Amino acid sequence: MRGALLGGAGVAVGVAAAPAVRHWCGWDRPPVAGGYAAAADDLGAVAHPDVKIHYRGRTEEPLVAFTFDDGPAPHWTPDVLDVLDRADAPATFFMEGRNVARHHDLIRGRMDRHAIGNHSWSHPDLATLDLRGVYDELRRTDDVIRRYTGRTPTLFRPPFGHLGGSTVLAAAKMGYDLVLWSDEMHERSFRGDPGAQAAFIVDSVRPGAIVLAHDAGDDRRLITVRGLGAMIDGLRRRGFRLVTVPELLAAAEPETEGPVRALH
| Catalytic positions, written as ranges | 69, 214
Classify burial at 81, counting beta carbons within 10 Å of its beta carbon; exposed 0-12, middle 13-18, buried 19 or more: buried
C-alpha span between 37 and 198 (Å, rounded): 38
C-alpha span between 210 and 196 (Å, rounded): 19
Taking only Cα atoms into account, the Rg of the chain, rounded to an integer number of angstroms, comes to 21
Q: Dihedral angle at the C-alpha atoms of 31, 34, 36, 40, nearest 10 degrees?
A: 80
Give the three-state DSSP class for 95: strand
Q: Compute CA distances 161 → 42, 213, 225, whole Å.
A: 23, 13, 22
C-alpha span between 248 and 153 (Å, rounded): 16
Enumerate the H helices of the chain as residue ranges. 2-25, 77-87, 97-103, 131-149, 165-174, 194-204, 222-237, 245-250
DSSP string of 165-192, one letter each residue = HHHHHHHHHHTPEEE--SEE--TTTTTT
Please name every residue paired with 65 in a beta bridge, in sequence order, or none if there are none: 210
Classify burial at 247, counting beta carbons within 10 Å of its beta carbon; exposed 0-12, middle 13-18, buried 19 or more: middle
